[in-house]
Amino acid sequence: MRGLSKSPICFILILALHLSNGDLRYSVPEEMKRGYVVGNPAKDLRLDAKTLVSRNARLDADGVSKRFSELDTRTGALIVSEPGDREELCGSRQMCLLKYELVLEKPLELHSVVVQIQDINDNAPQFSSDKIKLEISESAVKGTTFFLGEAHDADLGQNAVQGYSLGRNGHFSLHVGTNSDGGNYAELVLDKELDREKEQEVTLFLTATDGGDPERSGTAVIHVTVLDANDNSPVFTQPVYKVNLPENAPMGTVVVSVNATDADAGVNGEVMYEFSRMSDKAARIFSLDKLNGEIKVTGPVDFEEESYYEMRVQAKDGLGSASDAKVVVEVTDVNDNSPKIVIKSLINPFPENVIPGTEVGIVNVQDEDSGQNRQVRCFIQENVPFKLNPSIKNYYSIIITTGVDREIVSYFNITIIAVDEGTPALSSSKSIHLSVSDVNDNPPVFEKIDYGAYMTENNKPGTSICSVSARDPDWRQNGTVLYSLVSSEVNGVPVSSFISINADTGVIHAVRSFDYEQFRNFKVQVVARDNGSPPLSSNVTVSVFITDENDNSPQILYPAPEGKSLMTEMVPKASLSGSLVSKVIAVDADSGQNAWLSYQIVKSTDPGLFTIGLHSGEIRALRDITESDSMKQNLVISVKDNGQPPLSATCSVYLLISDNLAEVPELKDMTYEESNSKLTSYLIIALVSVSTFFLTFIILILAVRFCHKRKPRLLFDGAVAIPSAYLPPNYAEVEGAGTLRSSYNYDTYLTTGSRTSDFKFVASYNENTLPSTHTLNRIQNQFDPFEENLFTVASSDSKSRFKR
Ligand SMILES: *[C@@H]1O[C@H](CO)[C@@H](O)[C@H](O)[C@H]1NC(C)=O
Ligand SMILES: *[C@@H]1O[C@H](CO)[C@@H](O)[C@H](O)[C@H]1NC(C)=O
Ligand SMILES: *[C@@H]1O[C@H](CO)[C@@H](O)[C@H](O)[C@H]1NC(C)=O
């Protein structure tokens, strides 16, 4: 009694085996346990399973597909993650296909994976009711058929209902017919007339079996009540009702009205409708009006949930004669889903030195609708240096278009907008906060191009001199500035023994006490270095100027301090008032006012006889010298500088009023060194005379030369050369024009030549202004032939210091 109709099932199997190009296809029986390996896409794609995690491999469900399997990133296998029932997943569809996308990043790769769920025989055939009531007139003739309906098996193909069998009985046999849609239905065939008087009721067992292995079956009990006649069954106006229903149709919407007519009259012609077969899902959404056959919406219709419903409707007349028709509802899509934007990966924060064109993120856009409603446009709204580049399918890369500088913009707010092409269009947006991370790309920059600092000499060690400061706009340690000195030498001494710098604050301290007379300024390079890796640095020159303090008392060069040698000036007897008799020469190692010397006679043998120039130190006769004046004259002269407080020194000058050495009988008395022999004295005096003559001669030549020049008179009447042997050892200029020369030695000049020479100290001692370096240079150039004879004390420093 088993009616097998194999050909449609074979056809379906052939369809299922047809693979589409490029897709990875796997098939798996339904109801497999969690962890069951469906296939290994990694192996099939020749991917190295080890790279899967780093490439962020994952399985994205495509569209509305339900989750069923997932990727095991350890092995690359596709495994069952949520065991599922084919009938639950795909309903009555013949092909149960779950579509996935295998997504890999770096670079982005996309592979379609299709999993076909194969049917297993897990459902038994089932009748719509396990009790079938038939009322059969006793007049029914042999061969009359009675519709029993169809058993339903949720499985497919071989696993669906394959045949019916009827329990042993004396009246009926079974006939299996085929519906227009391929289903098998059963009919009772009356083999032997009924006799109501003999049997009022007949009970039969109808069994439906499927073709699975093992076989499953369902049974219904048929109660036949023997009656009088009902000749016609209701007939539907059409065998299949096919309608389209837009999704989201409101409750109460009439989907379709089925209609069947029965030719019988009265109760035998009253038609009642009911669903004879429908899925649970459909039962929740549709209702059938028993009387008028209207099918209405009673639940939510969602295209994305289910787009196809198939139901069977039975029409029965009052006495149970029935027939059925099929209702197919195809749900049409309405643009009711806005696109979904998913950020799949994002480099956040990204470094500021990123190259334009770099991909900083991947965005996936999905729309659950179909057709036009699924087409999505995607773009970035703001005016930011990013754009979306369409990548594979519905993936976009976020590309940076220009270089960025964290020191100008440290983050970006980006809004990605997705708009679908339905009418009306739906859109959605997603905001991303992208930060820029720092790269050490700015060196520290000093606030000034160079620094100058003044420091008074004799400072305390540790005194702060000045501070330098550099800025670095980078972040944290890349912008943290540390200061240090570049090692160098000043006068052969490492600079670090003069000053030190605080690495954090940039404050420069003196390490030792400075001496202006040793050096007046020095330069040092300070480096500001940030803490980046590698660090960036810049440097600046700091000039330290040491300013003078009056810490040196005047030093008298001529006459030499007592006790050294015989220092006696000869004054001609006939000297007139105002004639120059001698000159005191003193120097002061300080500069400016601190070295501006003034001379004063503090004690003299004859107070009215001699006077001294306040600043020139020239000793002149105050009146004509007469015979009556004492031959020996002693003067005590004090030399004082102009510092605050002033320092001074004194010396004694011995004068001998005489024209002839022979006239000096008491010379011996005058000498302070009694031990000197007479011969020595004479020798010295002879030497003095010769030297005086020579000096006079030189000065004459000088005078002649100076007369031909214009200006120099302002500074000089004659030049005096002071031999370096008389200079204090430290008395040397560190820098500038006043370099001392020591190539000439004029000992003889000074010890003897004072009588006729016009001693003039260089400008700064006579004039109130101190010549600048330039002035001095020019003077020297003008006196080129004598340059080496000149002793210049002028400082090269600026005037400001002098005006102090
Ligand atoms: C950017 O977004 C952040 C929040 O993510 C907000 O605090 C900030 O104000 C936004 N900036 C601008 C310029 O819109
Ligand atoms: C500093 O810059 C370097 C690159 O030059 C970068 O790797 C580091 O993260 C930056 N540090 C900070 C605190 O931003
Ligand atoms: C100081 O900076 C200049 C350029 O600004 C560079 O050439 C020089 O090497 C730097 N000196 C030191 C010691 O870093």
State pLDDT tens for residues 504-516.
999 999 999 999 9
Ligand 3 contact via 139 beta carbon (within 6 Å): no
pLDDT value for 378? 93
pLDDT tops 90 at residue 543: yes
Model pLDDT for residues 667-714, shown as the tens digit of each residue: 444 444 444 456 667 777 778 888 888 888 888 888 777 766 543 333
Ligand 2 contact via 742 beta carbon (within 6 Å): no
Rounded-to-integer distance, Cα 634 and Cα 568, Å? 10
pLDDT value for 104? 86
pLDDT value for 664? 61
Rounded-to-integer distance, Cα 315 and Cα 273, Å? 5
Ligand 3 contact via 487 beta carbon (within 6 Å): no
pLDDT tops 50 at residue 346: yes
Confidence of residue 718 (pLDDT cuts 50, 70, 90): very low
CB atoms within 10 A of CB 90: 21
Ligand 3 contact via 539 beta carbon (within 6 Å): yes
Task: Report pTM.
Answer: 0.56
pLDDT tops 60 at residue 777: no
Left, alpha or beta for 594 (phi > 0: left; psi -120 to 50: alpha)? alpha
- For residue 411, the ligand 1 atom closest to its alpha carbon is 1
What sign for the dihedral angle of Cα 754, 759, 761, 767? positive
The residue nearest atom 1 of ligand 3, judged by CA position, is 539
Dihedral angle of Cα 583, 584, 590, 594, to the nearest 10 degrees: -90
pLDDT value for 10? 37
The structure tokens listed for 255 are 């989907």
Instruction: Report the Cα 53 to chain-centroid distance in Å.
Output: 27
Distance (Å) from CA 499 to ligand 3 centroid: 20
pLDDT tops 70 at residue 127: yes
Ligand (nearest to CA of 432): 1
pLDDT value for 377? 92
- For residue 539, the ligand 3 atom closest to its alpha carbon is 1
Distance (Å) from CA 2 to ligand 2 centroid: 80
CB atoms within 10 A of CB 449: 7
Please choose from 446, 526, 539, 540 the residue to mutate so as to test ligand 3's pocket, defined by most ligand atoms within 8 A of CB: 539
Distance (Å) from CA 463 to ligand 3 centroid: 28
Side by side, the strands of the sheet bearing 507-510 are: 464-467, 507-510, 499-501
Distance (Å) from CA 525 to ligand 3 centroid: 9
Q: What is the mean pLDDT of the chain?
A: 80
Model pLDDT for residues 636-668, shown as the tens digit of each residue: 999 999 998 999 999 888 888 888 776 665 544
- Write the DSSP symbol of residue 76: T
**245 has which bridge partners?**
331
The proportion of the chain whose per-residue pLDDT surpasses 70, expressed as a percent, equals 80
Average pLDDT over residues 476-498: 93
The three-class DSSP label of residue 2 is coil
Residue 24's contacts (CB-CB under 8 Å, 6 or more residues apart) are 39, 41, 44, 45, 102, 111, 112, 113, 114
Ligand 3 contact via 541 beta carbon (within 6 Å): no
pLDDT value for 709? 52
Instruction: Report the Cα 234 to chain-centroid distance in Å.
Output: 81
Ligand 2 contact via 536 beta carbon (within 6 Å): no
From the list 491, 364, 383, the residue with the least C-alpha distance to 428 is: 364
Residue 441, amino acid? D
- For residue 534, the ligand 2 atom closest to its alpha carbon is 5
Ligand 1 contact via 381 beta carbon (within 6 Å): no
Pick the range with the lowest mean pLDDT from 378-382, 534-538, 542-546.
378-382
pLDDT value for 437? 95
pLDDT tops 80 at residue 802: no
Confidence of residue 483 (pLDDT cuts 50, 70, 90): very high
pLDDT value for 563? 58
Distance (Å) from CA 474 to ligand 1 centroid: 22
Average pLDDT over residues 232-252: 92
**397 has which bridge partners?**
362, 389
Rounded-to-integer distance, Cα 9 and Cα 13, Å? 6
Average pLDDT over residues 42-61: 85
The residue nearest atom 13 of ligand 1, judged by CA position, is 413
Confidence of residue 108 (pLDDT cuts 50, 70, 90): confident
Question: How far apart, in Å, are the Cα atoms of 256 and each of 243, 306, 329, 633?
Answer: 7, 18, 9, 153
Ligand 3 contact via 417 beta carbon (within 6 Å): no
Distance (Å) from CA 352 to ligand 3 centroid: 26
Looking up tokens 């001494």 gives: 493
pLDDT tops 50 at residue 13: no
Ligand 3 contact via 370 beta carbon (within 6 Å): no
Confidence of residue 145 (pLDDT cuts 50, 70, 90): confident
pLDDT value for 275? 93
Average pLDDT over residues 524-538: 95
Rounded-to-integer distance, Cα 677 and Cα 375, Å? 130
What sign for the dihedral angle of Cα 265, 268, 270, 273? negative
pLDDT tops 90 at residue 31: no
71-80, 730-739, 762-771 — most confident range: 71-80
Model pLDDT for residues 588-632, shown as the tens digit of each residue: 989 889 999 999 999 998 888 999 999 999 999 998 888 888 888
Ligand 3 contact via 484 beta carbon (within 6 Å): no
Rounded-to-integer distance, Cα 3 and Cα 178, Å? 10
Strands 648-657 and 568-571: parallel
42-51, 279-288, 688-697 — most confident range: 279-288
Model pLDDT for residues 763-773, shown as the tens digit of each residue: 333 333 333 33
- For residue 413, the ligand 1 atom closest to its alpha carbon is 1
∠ CA(598), CA(801), CA(510), 5° rounding? 115
- The H or E element containing residue 348 is none
